[in-house]
Amino acid sequence: MVYAPVRSDPTLPPVRVNLYSDTQTKPSAAMKDAMMRAEVGDEQHGDDPTIYELCDRMAALLGKEAAVFLPSGTMCNQIAILTHCRPGDEIIAHESAHIITSEGGGPAALTGATVLGLPGARGLFDVPTLQGAFREKRRNSPPQTLLEVEQTANFGGGAVWPVAQLHAVLEAGHAFGLHTHMDGARLMNAVVAAGVPAHEMAAGCDSVWLDFTKGLGAPLGAVLCGSADFIDQAWRWKQRLGGSLRQAGVCAAACLYALDHNIDRLAEDHANARVLARGLAQIPGLIVEEPETNLVFFDTSGTGLTADALADRVRQQGVMLSTMGKHRARACTHLDVDRVGVETALQVFRAAVAH
């Protein structure tokens, strides 16, 4: 099996502590209750009041003119790229960007754009690196049209772009004539960690989106924001790709619930990630990257185990972990993992490595 998700092995013990991803959160009873009570209409026809409420709030939160509700973050990225770029264009992003590694080659397949990956520690890059990637504007160069940044940088270890560096990079992009796009899958984690308001974080971005299915705990949904004209164009792609919905207010209600209840508490996830990282760092053979948000990346080389082998061992004890390379593992904290869960997981890790 290559293309379909492999179903979880039913003979495995139940999951006790799920550190696999913040996408694994389940909607709470209160969130489901809000969904049940949502006022709905036909989104595609412009009649869903809950969708409008969510889009208005998101545009205000991120300091943009307009917003559109989409089923997923991947669709936000791909529709933004389709809207900003033409076939043959080149996008500039970090070499570990989600749009390069994890969206099925979407920029090439859908827009016909290539992505130039820049190096840089923890998923970030600086102005000289960006400027070094600018091509002479010649007939035989690919037109460079879009600069993309990820806040937080997922494969960069959940790193937060410092706001000054972020703004400098985006400004350099604009000065060269690029559009700017922020993959804000975990933008609110960055906002909470840095204490910088979301609209300030997103200030230099022509388009930006936020995922509701990561630490915010909703079952589906992401909102893409930008200028009124950009969102108007994005709507055409939403329609074309089949992302134009009907009584989607049920989903938007979950997102509104998340905005009201699940943002400030991200600080708990960050604190749990630090406790987890400190505990993992005390286990002989593990090298742990200092977490800035809710993602804890660590290297298993010194234990003699591959990341997959360690993940299999802890899974037998009910702890779920994801792997990002032969020896690179990722543990993710979120609203369904509390401090007791972190301590339980650490016990399981200690035993698994000592074996």
Ligand X SMILES: *Cc1c(COP(=O)(O)O)cnc(C)c1O
Residue ranges binding ligand X (CB under 6 A): 72-74, 77, 98, 150, 154, 183, 185, 211, 213, 222
By the 8 A CB rule, do 43 and 245 touch?
Answer: yes
CB of 3 to ligand X, least distance (A): 17
Q: What is the residue type of 345?
A: A
CB of 222 to ligand X, least distance (A): 5
DSSP secondary structure string for all residues of 278-340: HHHHTSTT-EEPPPSSSEEEEE-GGGT--HHHHHHHHHHTTEE-EE-SSSEEEEE--TT--HH
Alpha carbon separation from 239 to 44, 66, 81 (Å, rounded): 8, 17, 15
CA within 13 Å, CB half, 27: 23
CA within 13 Å, CB half, 181: 28
Identify the bridge partners of residue 225 per DSSP, sorted by sequence position. Answer: 67, 208
For ligand X, the closer of residues 237 and 349 by Cβ is 237
For ligand X, the closer of residues 43 and 211 by Cβ is 211
For ligand X, the closer of residues 152 and 244 by Cβ is 152
Torsion region of 63: left, alpha or beta (phi above 0 gives left; psi -120 to 50 gives alpha): left
Closest residue (Cβ) to ligand X? 73
CB of 35 to ligand X, least distance (A): 18
Torsion region of 236: left, alpha or beta (phi above 0 gives left; psi -120 to 50 gives alpha): alpha
For ligand X, the closer of residues 119 and 302 by Cβ is 119
CB of 103 to ligand X, least distance (A): 7
CB of 72 to ligand X, least distance (A): 4
Alpha carbons 57 and 34: distance in angstroms, whole number: 17
By the 8 A CB rule, do 337 and 272 touch?
Answer: yes
DSSP secondary structure string for all residues of 143-188: PEEEEEEESSBTTTTSBPPPHHHHHHHHHHHHHTT-EEEEEETTHH
For ligand X, the closer of residues 306 and 322 by Cβ is 322
Alpha carbons 207 and 224: distance in angstroms, whole number: 7
CB of 34 to ligand X, least distance (A): 20
For ligand X, the closer of residues 169 and 348 by Cβ is 169
Structure tokens at 163: 């706001």
For ligand X, the closer of residues 68 and 348 by Cβ is 68
DSSP annotation of 127: H
CB of 23 to ligand X, least distance (A): 6
For ligand X, the closer of residues 185 and 266 by Cβ is 185
CB of 74 to ligand X, least distance (A): 3
CB of 186 to ligand X, least distance (A): 6
For ligand X, the closer of residues 151 and 303 by Cβ is 151
271 contacts: CB under 8 Å, gap ≥ 6: none
By the 8 A CB rule, do 107 and 113 touch?
Answer: yes
